[in-house]
């Protein structure tokens, strides 16, 4: 292999040594030699080593150590370096690396990294004095803080959408009473996006030790990211847009698999529903009241003495029959799964795990033990491949009983005594061995991986629902995520929107909160408002604490029950749109709940306190969350044209509007030009929605498109091309709507299309492939699941929208609808 070597002068070496003497902090020194090997450039300095790898034209990895690099390994990154070409140019004071998308300047004395666009615009640069430096084992990279620079992302973090001026810790923590500014929480995603001067970049630091990110908190000089130990290992990512950064980041860390369709329906949970008769009564209540439901949860009281993989002998004496009865009602069952294995003679999981050496240990070989729900427990070492396989196989009995969802909880690791696991506890780490200091933040990720891989093998090609509370970058490959134990307050409801949006900005699309609040009692107005917001969340589950009031929709009275029914039913009508958005997430990493920072990155208004909770649900629906105590709210509509989804009125963007927001009316807007596929209402995804797809077209002045997607909703056959997808485009200049040729080997369930035209003049004529379509004026009520005359119908809920309607039979070839 061709190598290039450069040796610097003795004078430079001596100057570098003098620079570091007497300082508590030592930084990466002056360049002494370098060598090039394929995609890598290795740098030796008089204090420390660095290595850069060109992964893609827009991704460069930087590794920095004081001494020697350890064996390269990551639980987060699944992509290897591509074959992107780069050039290396040497000058007297620097090395310059060029790719198609980036220019990286590496100063020689001392070694510092500055990233530019390919045409020379500064993206990000090391602080010239500090660069990457060490204080003991702690390693920190200091970056220049640029004028007007904003920061977003970093996963499950409280605070504002714009992270500028704040600092955060990553140390997965069970905090059941977290406040609106508490940190850390349950999840570590050490990835953020920086923005300034119409430019964007991303930085992902792949180090699972306790870490800190400082975005100019308590200083005006630098931003920084650090870890308590290990390498400085980060990926610098550049693309023209935030969406491009997310696509690159999820290329590195992986993307979600398609969830089962039923996991996108409404889900009901309580700590706890028991015995089995209460579970069935709750499910039957949903059916009797015509409130759609797809999933019911069994919390810790379903187990025998809280022992995982068991059923309580009295409360759930015939679990297979219970689950069969629920399945006959179109309802799936999800069980809580905790990692603690009770220390108890005769308990199969304990005896088997001990015999096969599956648990984390102290350095002297004794098995680590801590107290949690079952009492004294051992904990599987999920960094050990054999333990992951062992854990996955333990689900065989539950799967055979009919369980299809698995809710991974307490995996920070949480235990009594504030979850303080001693740092000296050792983990296998794929045979290398490490301490809890490095393993803690990945424990939840690896538990989810073990649960997913095990249940996928056992479920005969049916997709499980996997849910987790804790995790690390890459968790999206295995699991959905919820934000832990929130509280029934307006403040927490609004915080939940920011958390979901921030997690979406961090590569995790399938995420949500405990709708209604886990702790405390929600007021009727709060529950009603939260159900409305929850209907426009990727993961839609209501969940409450055992000592709160019952929190099913009917528990708050007839009005709230009707509001809940309407929003949950609307969710089911929107499933073709939502499922298609999840497909996009699986292909590109684009989240389903999208912070406005994705599409309107440099619009200052979206970062203001009053508007930072707003988001797009999919590409088209703007959600403006509002507290339950407010009947009027100011909403910011970004650039473009927008339809009020309640009134049908078109509004101009770049504009603040006052929206009515009584209990039943969440402010919702649709981007003009949007194509939104919908279906008839159903009570669960097990019901047949029929062969008609309702395409809602919102007239606008800009081009737009949407890709409709369907598969069988349960299997992995889509991975082999068994799906049906179709791009639908709206072109106002050509005055046409095009259903492009269908892709995939699956035949569509759709035979007919009913087009619902919003904002078109009453006398508009539509032609399909040159032939005039019959149109009729109609009224569309997106919200009401009930009809006038039904005993529970409330006249004041919503008013139907005036539309033009046209229907036709679908064919797989291109179809063009023109209007005149």
DSSP conformation letters of 312-370: -TTTTS-HHHHHHHHHHTT-EEEEEE-S-EE--TT-HHHHHHHHTT-B-B-TTSPBP-E
Calculate mean pLDDT across residues 795-812: 85
User: What angle separates helix 319-328 from helix 276-288, to the nearest 10 degrees?
Assistant: 0
Do the Cβ atoms of 259 and 463 come closer than 8 Å? yes
Residue 474 has pLDDT above 90, yes or no: yes
Q: Is the dihedral of CA 543, 549, 552, 556 positive or negative?
A: negative
Q: Is the dihedral of CA 316, 318, 322, 324 positive or negative?
A: positive
**Burial level of 22, CB count in 10 A (0-12/13-18/19+)?**
exposed
Q: Give the separation between CA 478 and CA 257, rounded to whole angstroms.
A: 7
Contacts of 459 (CB under 8 A, 6+ apart): 399, 404
Residue 8 has pLDDT above 50, yes or no: no
Q: Give 582-601 pLDDT, tens digit per residue.
A: 999 999 999 999 999 999 99
- What domains are defined for the chain? 26-253 (2.60.40.1760), 265-337+385-417+444-581 (3.20.20.80), 582-819 (2.60.40.1180)
Q: Give 266-319 pLDDT, tens digit per residue.
A: 999 999 999 999 999 999 999 999 999 999 999 999 999 999 999 999 999 999
| Confidence (pLDDT) at 789 | 63
In whole angstroms, what separates CA 805 from the centre of its chain?
36
Task: Give the mean pLDDT of the chain.
Answer: 95
Residue 18 has pLDDT above 90, yes or no: no
Q: Is the dihedral of CA 315, 316, 321, 325 positive or negative?
A: positive
Contacts of 9 (CB under 8 A, 6+ apart): none
CA torsion angle 287 291 296 299 (round to 10): -110
Q: Please state, in angstroms and as integers, the Cα–Cα distance from residue 790 to each residue in 157, 436, 553, 786, following that order.
A: 45, 60, 18, 6
Q: Give 312-345 pLDDT, tens digit per residue.
A: 999 999 999 999 999 999 999 999 999 999 999 9
Q: Give 208-247 pLDDT, tens digit per residue.
A: 999 999 999 999 999 999 999 999 999 999 999 999 999 9
The residues annotated as belonging to the active site are 409, 412, 485
Do the Cβ atoms of 371 and 408 come closer than 8 Å? no
Contacts of 740 (CB under 8 A, 6+ apart): 726, 727, 728, 729, 814
What are the structure tokens assigned to 81, written together? 């370096």
pLDDT more than 90, % of the chain: 92
Q: Please state, in angstroms and as integers, the Cα–Cα distance from residue 148 to each residue in 124, 202, 263, 741, 776, following that order.
A: 13, 16, 41, 45, 52
Q: pLDDT-derived band of residue 780, with 50, 70 and 90 as boundaries?
A: confident
Q: Give 372-394 pLDDT, tens digit per residue.
A: 999 999 999 999 999 999 999 99
Q: How many CB atoms lie within 10 A of CB 796?
A: 9
Q: Is the dihedral of CA 144, 145, 146, 150 positive or negative?
A: positive
Q: Give the separation between CA 443 and CA 449, rounded to whole angstroms.
A: 10
CA torsion angle 395 397 398 400 (round to 10): 120
């Amino acid at each position: 292999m061709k190598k290039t070597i450069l040796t610097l002068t003795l004078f430079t070496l001596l100057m570098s040594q003098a620079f570091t003497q007497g300082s508590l902090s030592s930084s990466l020194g002056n360049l002494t030699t370098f060598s090039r090997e394929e995609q890598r450039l290795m740098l030796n300095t008089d204090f420390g080593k660095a290595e850069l790898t060109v992964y893609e034209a827009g991704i460069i990895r930087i590794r920095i150590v004081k001494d020697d690099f350890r064996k390269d390994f990551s639980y987060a990154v699944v992509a290897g370096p591509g074959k992107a070409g780069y050039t290396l140019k040497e000058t007297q004071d620097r090395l310059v690396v060029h790719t198609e998308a980036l220019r990286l300047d590496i100063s020689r004395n001392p070694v510092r990294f500055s990233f530019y666009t390919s045409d020379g615009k500064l993206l990000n640069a090391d602080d010239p004095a500090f660069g990457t430096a060490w204080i003991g084992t702690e390693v920190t990279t200091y970056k220049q803080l640029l004028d007007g620079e904003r920061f977003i992302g970093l996963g499950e973090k409280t605070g504002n959408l714009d992270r500028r001026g704040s600092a955060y810790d990553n140390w997965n923590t069970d905090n059941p009473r977290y406040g609106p500014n508490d940190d850390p929480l349950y999840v570590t995603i050490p990835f953020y996006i920086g923005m300034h001067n119409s430019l964007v970049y991303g930085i992902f630091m792949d180090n699972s030790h306790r870490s800190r990110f400082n975005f100019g908190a308590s200083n005006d000089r630098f931003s920084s990211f650090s870890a308590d130990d290990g390498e400085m290992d980060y990926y610098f990512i550049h693309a023209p847009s935030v969406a491009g950064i997310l696509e690159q980041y999820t290329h590195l860390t992986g993307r979600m698999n398609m969830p089962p369709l039923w996991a996108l329906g409404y889900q009901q949970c309580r700590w706890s529903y028991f015995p089995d008769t209460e579970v069935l009564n709750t499910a039957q209540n949903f059916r009797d009241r015509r409130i759609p439901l797809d999933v019911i949860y069994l919390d810790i009281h379903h187990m025998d003495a809280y022992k995982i993989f068991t059923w309580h002998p009295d409360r759930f004496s015939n679990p297979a029959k219970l689950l069969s009865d629920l399945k006959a009602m179109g309802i799936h069952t999800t069980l809580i799964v905790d990692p603690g294995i009770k220390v108890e003679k005769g308990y199969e999981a304990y005896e088997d795990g001990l015999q096969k050496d599956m648990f984390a240990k102290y350095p002297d070989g004794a098995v680590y033990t801590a107290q949690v729900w079952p009492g004294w427990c051992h904990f599987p070492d999920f960094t050990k491949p054999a333990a992951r396989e062992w854990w996955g196989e333990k689900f065989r009995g539950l799967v055979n009983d009919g369980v299809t969802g698995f809710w991974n909880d307490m995996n920070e690791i949480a235990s009594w005594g504030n979850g303080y696991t001693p740092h000296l506890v050792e983990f296998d780490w794929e045979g290398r061995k490490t301490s809890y200091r490095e393993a803690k933040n990945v424990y939840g990720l690896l538990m989810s991986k073990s649960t997913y891989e095990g249940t996928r093998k056992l479920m005969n090609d049916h997709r499980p629902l996997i849910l987790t509370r804790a995790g690390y970058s890459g968790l999206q490959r295995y699991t959905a995520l919820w934000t832990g134990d929130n509280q029934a307050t307006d403040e927490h409801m609004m915080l939940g929107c920011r958390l979901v949006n921030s997690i979406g900005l961090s590569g995790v699309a399938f995420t949500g909160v405990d709708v209604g609040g886990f702790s405390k009692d929600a007021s009727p107005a709060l529950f009603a408002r939260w159900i409305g917001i929850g209907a426009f969340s990727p993961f839609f589950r209501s969940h409450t604490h055992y000592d709160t009031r019952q929190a099913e929709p009917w528990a708050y009275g007839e009005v709230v029950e009707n509001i809940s029914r309407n929003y949950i039913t609307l969710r089911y009508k929107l499933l073709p749109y939502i499922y298609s958005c999840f497909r996009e997430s699986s292909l590109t990493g684009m989240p389903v709940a999208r912070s406005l920072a994705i599409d309107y990155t440099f619009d200052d208004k979206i970062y203001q306190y009053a508007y930072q909770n707003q988001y797009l649900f999919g590409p088209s629906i703007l959600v403006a969350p509002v507290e339950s105590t407010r009947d009027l709210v100011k909403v910011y509509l970004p650039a473009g044209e927008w339809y009020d989804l309640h009134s049908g009125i078109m509004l101009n963007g770049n504009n603040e509007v006052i929206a009515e927001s009584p209990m039943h009316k969440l402010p919702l807007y649709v981007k003009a030009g949007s194509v939104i596929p919908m279906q008839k209402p159903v009570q669960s995804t097990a019901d047949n929605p029929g062969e008609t797809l309702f395409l809602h077209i919102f007239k606008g002045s800009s081009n737009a498109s949407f890709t409709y997607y369907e598969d069988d909703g349960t299997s992995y056959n889509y991975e082999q091309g068994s799906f049906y997808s179709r791009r639908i485009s709206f072109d106002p200049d050509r005055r046409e709507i095009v259903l492009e040729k269908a892709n995939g080997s699956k035949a569509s369930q759709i035979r007919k299309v009913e087009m619902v035209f919003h904002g078109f003049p009453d006398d508009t004529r539509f032609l399909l492939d040159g032939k005039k379509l019959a149109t009729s004026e109609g009224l569309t009520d997106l919200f009401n699941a009930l009809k006038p005359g039904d005993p529970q119908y409330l006249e004041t809920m919503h008013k139907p929208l005036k539309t033009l309607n046209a229907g036709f039979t679908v064919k797989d070839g291109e179809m063009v609808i023109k209007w005149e």
